[in-house]
Amino acid sequence: MRIAMIGTGYVGLVSGTCFSEFGTNVVCVDKDEKKIEGLKKGVIPIFEPGLDTLVKNNTEAGRLTFTTELEEAAKKADAIFIAVGTPPGEKDGQADLSYVYQAAREIAAVIEGYTVIITKSTVPVGTGREVERIIREERPDADFDVVSNPEFLREGAAISDFMRPDRVVIGAESKRAQDLMAELYRPLYLIETPILFTKLETSELIKYAGNAFLATKISFINQMADLCEKVGADVHQVAKGIGLDGRIGRKFLHAGPGYGGSCFPKDTQALAFTARENNAPVSLVEDVISYNDERKRRMAKKIIAQCGGSVEGKKIAVLGLTFKPNTDDMRDSPSLDIIPILQSKGARISAYDPEGMEEASHLLSDVSYGKNAYEIMDKADALVIITEWNEFRRLDLSRVKSLLSSPVMIDLRNIYNPDEMKEEGFEYLCIGRPLSA
> DSSP label at 88?
B
Q: Is 288 in the site for ligand NAD (CB under 6 A)?
A: no
- Mask of contacts with ligand NAD, 132-151, x by CB under 6 A? -------------------x
Q: Is 29 in the site for ligand NAD (CB under 6 A)?
A: yes
Q: Is 85 in the site for ligand NAD (CB under 6 A)?
A: yes
Nearest to 78 by CA among 184, 149, 203: 184
Q: Is 8 in the site for ligand NAD (CB under 6 A)?
A: yes
Q: State which amino acid sits at residue 307.
A: C
- Are 17 and 54 in contact by the 8 Å Cβ rule? The answer is yes
- Are 432 and 235 in contact by the 8 Å Cβ rule? The answer is yes
Among 1, 2, 22, 31, binds ligand NAD (CB under 6 A): 31
Q: Give min distance, CB of 160 to ligand NAD, in A.
A: 14
Question: What is the residue-wise DSSP string for 59-111?
Answer: HHTTSEEEES-HHHHHHT-SEEEE-----B-SSTT-B--HHHHHHHHHHHHH-
Q: Give min distance, CB of 389 to ligand NAD, in A.
A: 18
Q: Give min distance, CB of 245 to ligand NAD, in A.
A: 28
Nearer to ligand NAD, 263 or 383 (CB): 263
Nearer to ligand NAD, 95 or 299 (CB): 95
Question: Of the listed pieces 25-33, 173-181, 270-278, 417-425, which binds ligand NAD according to CB under 6 A?
Answer: 25-33
Quote the Cα angle for 283-287-292, to 5°.
150
Helix axes 200-231, 264-277, angle to 10 degrees: 120
* Element containing residue 368 per DSSP (H, E): strand 367-369
Among 102, 202, 406, 417, binds ligand NAD (CB under 6 A): 102
Nearer to ligand NAD, 29 or 55 (CB): 29
> DSSP label at 95?
B
Q: Is 105 in the site for ligand NAD (CB under 6 A)?
A: no
N-term to C-term CA, the chain: 64
Nearer to ligand NAD, 121 or 216 (CB): 121
> DSSP label at 101?
H
Q: How far is C-alpha 77 from the geometric centre of its chain's CA atoms?
A: 29
- The size of the chain, in residues, is 437
Nearer to ligand NAD, 247 or 251 (CB): 251
Distance in angstroms (rounded) separating the CA atoms of residues 25 and 60: 12
Quote the Cα angle for 257-259-263, to 5°.
160
The one catalytic residue among 18, 263, 307, 430: 263
Q: Is 6 in the site for ligand NAD (CB under 6 A)?
A: yes
Q: Give min distance, CB of 343 to ligand NAD, in A.
A: 27
Nearer to ligand NAD, 115 or 262 (CB): 262
Nearest to 167 by CA among 183, 152, 147, 187: 152
Distance in angstroms (rounded) separating the CA atoms of residues 104 and 142: 13
Among 20, 86, 326, 335, binds ligand NAD (CB under 6 A): 86
Nearer to ligand NAD, 162 or 426 (CB): 162
Question: Of the listed pieces 79-87, 136-144, 184-192, 193-201, which binds ligand NAD according to CB under 6 A?
Answer: 79-87
- Residue 293 CB-half CA count within 13 A: 9
Question: Of the listed pieces 97-105, 134-142, 187-195, 356-364, which binds ligand NAD according to CB under 6 A?
Answer: 97-105
What lies within 8 Å, CB to CB, of 356 at 6+ separation is 320, 321, 322, 327, 328, 329, 330, 333, 387
- Residue nearest to ligand NAD according to CB distances in the complex: 9
Site for ligand NAD in 214-273 (CB under 6 A): 262-263
Based on the residue annotation, tell me whether 263 is a catalytic residue of this protein. Answer: yes
Q: Give min distance, CB of 333 to ligand NAD, in A.
A: 13
> DSSP label at 68?
S
> DSSP label at 334?
T
Nearer to ligand NAD, 103 or 289 (CB): 103
Q: State which amino acid sits at residue 105.
A: R
Q: Give min distance, CB of 68 to ligand NAD, in A.
A: 8
Nearer to ligand NAD, 31 or 139 (CB): 31
Q: Is 9 in the site for ligand NAD (CB under 6 A)?
A: yes
Q: Is 119 in the site for ligand NAD (CB under 6 A)?
A: no
Scored b (16 or more CB within 10 A) or e, 268-307 reads: bbbbbbbbeeeeeebeebbebbebbeebbebbbebbbebb
Nearest to 109 by CA among 130, 137, 90, 129: 137
Q: Give min distance, CB of 33 to ligand NAD, in A.
A: 10
Among 25, 122, 127, 274, binds ligand NAD (CB under 6 A): 122
Phi, psi angle pair for 396, to nearest 5°: -75, 100
Which residues are marked as active site?
263
| Binding region for ligand NAD (CB under 6 A) | 6-12, 29-32, 35, 83-86, 99, 102-103, 106, 121-122, 151, 153, 155, 262-263
